Structure 1
């Protein structure tokens, strides 16, 4: 198995298909990869994160400032802005969500092309076809290629990074510029998802292991390119006085940490795709029951990793420390480090790990399988070729069938399950909010607002602001004046006319819209959902009468007009508090939250509370009426006696309360009695 430690595997040095069969195989593979990534892309997932990053890119494309940061990560860290820069490319051509979806699919397809090219150049066409086939049909790789998200842009750059390193250290003719470019691709992968910081350790160990082959001049050039790519984010860190850097270090080394092998389980799942199929039983039940192929692929990878490890241990390691490293030894060392280091890096972790935290391992497992299978078959052929008797031919054919047969079966089955998933999405069985629906909705909103000039739009959804609503992208796509309210939590009623887009089945806001608005003819259907448009004419409405005047007024211009109390005033009960307000002046860009306190009067103790945005106060304009709804829980051990509900506002940034114009900062609005329990 070892042969000579530095022996280069025989095969094509460059990719020039010499036969019709080779050309057909390559074209067929690329056609399959393209089909799985571009077919029926309208079903692409479109939720809150997609809305936020595409909205940032759209504002830049329309003449806004260059983004210095991107979306906030799940660890609470502001991401670098490379994803927004990438999304700007298709948006300069067409300002629709589907343009971004197609662009992401294109990058995913090009990653497969790059994998085929550099693996073929490294070890020959057979190795390239094996690696590219497994990458092309990989369930998770296909999944992340079919909708855009920060981390979904990582595989193209991790592919370029891996290819650059392999071609620099393990190819017959290496170009020093590949070393510099590898650091650029590394910087890009980290910008797109900070979990790729593990690649710094991986690449650092690769450089340390192959230090004699490094070109310091091109290494310095690579560092300069990486810093250049990070300049906007570094500028942001500077102007925020290193706050973001401290947040990043805190997230990476937080006090509450887990110690387990979850990282390796996620890496295995990315290789096999089994977790994706298990996520929808309707999908799993509709595919060919070849479920054994998923664990088989995992065992195939493990066997190849052991093969590569033994190759290095049994003599291959000697070829690593040369100025001109032994190609196969260098390739195996790079690929093993690529797969092992991230798992070790995240043995201790402070956040709940997801499989996309390791998406940068693509396409290393498939390249390793391609190189090992190709090397084993070439070694066997070399062993049997001197006296190619009939039984030797049979043994060689059996070996090819044994190694290549399962790979072809895996490829066929994974292509099939991706096709079935698209069929189920088309049939509405696997329904999710889709990019094509967002584009249809934005076009419908433009039509309604064009038909009613001067009317702003208010979107009722699951988020109170564009940044928290799954429909936040409408603010940027539609070109209309769009505000957002959260279903069941608040409603804005402007003095002028307004278009309400209701995307929820919530009964509370529906009851408020009744009598206030008229249903328009425009609607968009999404599966079993109906997104409907309502028109409120200009002028006073019956929902928010001022009565005898405001109950209370705060220094920021907000007036409380009326309160409505309902619910259960009993232990373990819930008090529903609906407040009707008026903005006598625009409160400005400051974000205020409302507090609603339940106070035990005999001793003045705060027993319970619910705070929240109610409505997003920067949306409020002079003359707007608005409604907030809060649910105050009554503790099970609440003492009997008299209670008072007090309300007010505070700045979300400084947490300072807004004073009442008449003094104080908390307005008592109701007194309740909690009877003693008999």
Structure 2
């Protein structure tokens, strides 16, 4: 077998290993709010015809660009499933391994390119970041793509430099507009074009730059429309003092060595072997870190001594070093994913160091054999994360569910949700929308029995608890999903408000603010009393939108002395919807003979509801004499 044929088979094996590492446990991927948003954005474009110019907001600065959501549109249109998006992302990011091989060949040789690709194939950090759907999901594909296209031009390794430069800048444009931080890619690209300006086909640069500016101008328009929010974010961002941090360099090493993955992911996997895996990982981390430092030294030596590979060395060091330097003096937390902007340079440097120590056939065989247990260890570290997710699917409640569990809940919603109904669930709407593959109103409010809505068009009430979840008044339990960790997901059907069977004493007293106190129910639980009040929304005046009204009960004894004040759950006026019924419950202690005064009050603005009894003057509370009414037929 020829050396070339042998290398081709090795490359195929590496790519196959990378694909398996990224596809396995695909249904155990944790689908959180950040993963859901771009999928939801694609759905809003398909179903509502919305074309946002700015994407998901960030916790640090202003909103991300919206391109990731647009890239998902064809997949979402075909599959209506987050699983389809994950398959799409995984396949593209899997190509990043091949692109790393191609880019490394431009810098070093065939053997080193195989080493770089192999390191990327099994790195657990990169595997995780290759299996996401958040806005930065495609960095493991786009960054190596830009590197391969651009480096080929700068090193005079292409017969079509102008066309390749156009493609490089188009890829850079797409990359930058997926994720706010990805705009940083302009810095190494621009600096390298300036350094190697004599080799740069400027006609290709003008064409590619025009594409970038056109797309960037649309994003700027989107930010202008959020000018007030952008100004606040910029002020907050610049208000804290930056400091020097080593995290960026450490994270850049982690993306090559796999360091610390075993201690931050999969700690609660059923195997319970993270201490053993940590002990086994440390020697490999040390060896690989040394090869990176050796590669950095070799590249620096090439530059200082003006050797044959000085241009390639300069490119790799700039590509690797700039993202690290940019995040070394900062006032924000630095996450490992940020250093994806340095791909594939870390693998090139490690391969360069390995190339130096494997000049003999014996050392080549030793390190080749050593890669087998190293790969097995890295893939085990990766697997433990998803095994933990499978064993503890409810660990983060609804905020980060495994894909299979989330899709099951989404199917339950699709089966049961009434037309125009509302889902009440303690997560953001785009998470449950993405799991269901359809758009509907979802409200993050599950406070039963203390408070719950009965919407005008009906709806679903979804909870997750380790014990039996309380059934909201008037609801019907439809389904219960038992999770592997003992958590229960319950789906309850809320009737249309007009069909709610209201028990207790009817009142029907309207208020100036648009609520009508329909009725109340009173019963004793042990030594305490509980009261349930029913309020219908008949109007939503402009003045209530800024208020937060909460029900109250004042308890008076037989002498007219107030002995207790109980407040219920507040609800902002902007959450009122005409036709809905609000059900409040409160618990209180009371003497044998007592009277109640019931109303609602906004303590922040010192204003309460004004009741309009049909046969009396306006009052701020309704008086209830329980004994007489409880004894009435």
Flag whether TM exceeds 0.5 (same fold).
Answer: yes
How far 1:624 moved relative to its partner? 0.9
Which residue in the other structure is 1:503 paired with? 463
Q: Do structure 1's residue 477 and structure 2's residue 441 form an aligned pair?
A: no
Q: What SS does the corresponding residue of 2:72 show, helix, strand or coil?
A: helix
Pair 1:234–1:413, CA change in 2 (3 A): same
Pair 1:315–1:257, CA change in 2 (3 A): closer
Work out whether residues 169 and 213 of structure 1, in 8 Å CA contact, stay in contact via their aligned partners in 2: yes
How far 1:362 moved relative to its partner? 2.8
Superposition RMSD on alpha carbons, in Å? 4.3
Pair 1:455–1:339, CA change in 2 (3 A): closer
Work out whether residues 54 and 66 of structure 2, in 8 Å CA contact, stay in contact via their aligned partners in 1: yes
Work out whether residues 433 and 526 of structure 1, in 8 Å CA contact, stay in contact via their aligned partners in 2: no
Which residue in the other structure is 1:653 paired with? none
Q: Quick one: distance in 1 between partners of 2:366 and 2:304?
A: 28
1:359-416: CA deviation from partner (whole Å, max 9, x where unpaired): 3223321122223433664xx4xxxxxxxxxxxxxxx233324554544442232123
Work out whether residues 558 and 587 of structure 1, in 8 Å CA contact, stay in contact via their aligned partners in 2: no
Pair 1:658–1:357, CA change in 2 (3 A): farther
Which residue in the other structure is 2:162 paired with? 176
Within a 5 Å distance, the mapping from 1:481-496 to structure 2 comes to: 483-487=443-447, 490-495=451-456
Which residue in the other structure is 2:378 paired with? 414
Which residue in the other structure is 2:563 paired with? none
Pair 1:230–1:433, CA change in 2 (3 A): same
Unmatched tracts of structure 1, length 5 or more: 1-15, 321-325, 381-395, 566-575, 599-609, 632-643, 651-655, 672-678
Q: Quick one: distance in 1 between partners of 2:394 and 2:579?
A: 44
Q: Quick one: distance in 2 between partners of 1:161 and 1:258?
A: 31
Q: What SS does the corresponding residue of 1:152 show, helix, strand or coil?
A: coil
Q: What SS does the corresponding residue of 1:172 show, helix, strand or coil?
A: coil
TM-score (norm 1): 0.73
Q: Do structure 1's residue 526 and structure 2's residue 480 form an aligned pair?
A: no
> Which of 333, 341, 344 matches 1:363?
344
Which residue in the other structure is 2:556 paired with? none
Q: Do structure 1's residue 458 and structure 2's residue 439 form an aligned pair?
A: no
Work out whether residues 451 and 584 of structure 2, in 8 Å CA contact, stay in contact via their aligned partners in 1: yes
> Which of 83, 92, 98 matches 2:77?
92
How far 1:112 moved relative to its partner? 1.2
Unmatched tracts of structure 2, length 5 or more: 523-529, 553-566, 588-597, 613-618, 624-633
How far 1:534 moved relative to its partner? 2.4
1:105-132: CA deviation from partner (whole Å, max 9, x where unpaired): 1122111122123323543321121111
Work out whether residues 394 and 483 of structure 2, in 8 Å CA contact, stay in contact via their aligned partners in 1: no
How far 1:160 moved relative to its partner? 1.1
Q: Quick one: distance in 2 between partners of 1:358 and 1:579?
A: 55
Within a 5 Å distance, the mapping from 1:115-514 to structure 2 comes to: 115-170=100-155, 172-173=157-158, 175-240=161-226, 242-243=227-228, 246-247=231-232, 249-250=234-235, 252-279=237-264, 280-283=266-269, 285-286=272-273, 289=276, 291=278, 294-314=281-301, 316-317=303-304, 319=306, 326=308, 328-374=309-355, 377=358, 380=359, 396-401=360-365, 403-426=367-390, 433-449=401-417, 454=419, 456-459=421-424, 461-463=425-427, 466=429, 470-473=431-434, 477-478=437-438, 483-487=443-447, 490-495=451-456, 498-505=458-465, 510-511=469-470, 513-514=472-473
Q: Quick one: distance in 1 between partners of 2:273 and 2:112?
A: 32
Q: Do structure 1's residue 57 and structure 2's residue 46 form an aligned pair?
A: no
Work out whether residues 564 and 577 of structure 1, in 8 Å CA contact, stay in contact via their aligned partners in 2: yes
Q: Quick one: distance in 2 between partners of 1:657 and 1:210?
A: 68
How far 1:85 moved relative to its partner? 1.0
Work out whether residues 82 and 192 of structure 1, in 8 Å CA contact, stay in contact via their aligned partners in 2: yes
Q: Quick one: distance in 1 between partners of 2:288 and 2:238?
A: 32
Q: Quick one: distance in 1 between partners of 2:74 and 2:257?
A: 32
Which residue in the other structure is 2:507 paired with? 548
Q: Do structure 1's residue 623 and structure 2's residue 579 form an aligned pair?
A: yes
Q: Quick one: distance in 1 between partners of 2:2 and 2:229?
A: 51
Q: Quick one: distance in 1 between partners of 2:339 and 2:323?
A: 7
Q: Quick one: distance in 2 between partners of 1:156 and 1:581?
A: 54
How far 1:81 moved relative to its partner? 0.2
Q: Quick one: distance in 2 between partners of 1:49 and 1:589?
A: 35
Q: What SS does the corresponding residue of 1:532 show, helix, strand or coil?
A: strand
1:597-652: CA deviation from partner (whole Å, max 9, x where unpaired): 99xxxxxxxxxxx999847945x432211246899xxxxxxxxxxxx9983399xx
Corresponding residue pairs, total: 577
How far 1:312 moved relative to its partner? 4.7
Q: Quick one: distance in 2 between partners of 1:591 and 1:264?
A: 49
How far 1:233 moved relative to its partner? 1.4
How far 1:87 moved relative to its partner? 1.7
Q: Quick one: distance in 2 between partners of 1:120 and 1:447?
A: 53
Q: What SS does the corresponding residue of 1:585 show, helix, strand or coil?
A: coil
Q: What SS does the corresponding residue of 1:473 show, helix, strand or coil?
A: helix
Q: Quick one: distance in 2 between partners of 1:479 and 1:260?
A: 43
Which residue in the other structure is 1:647 paired with? 601
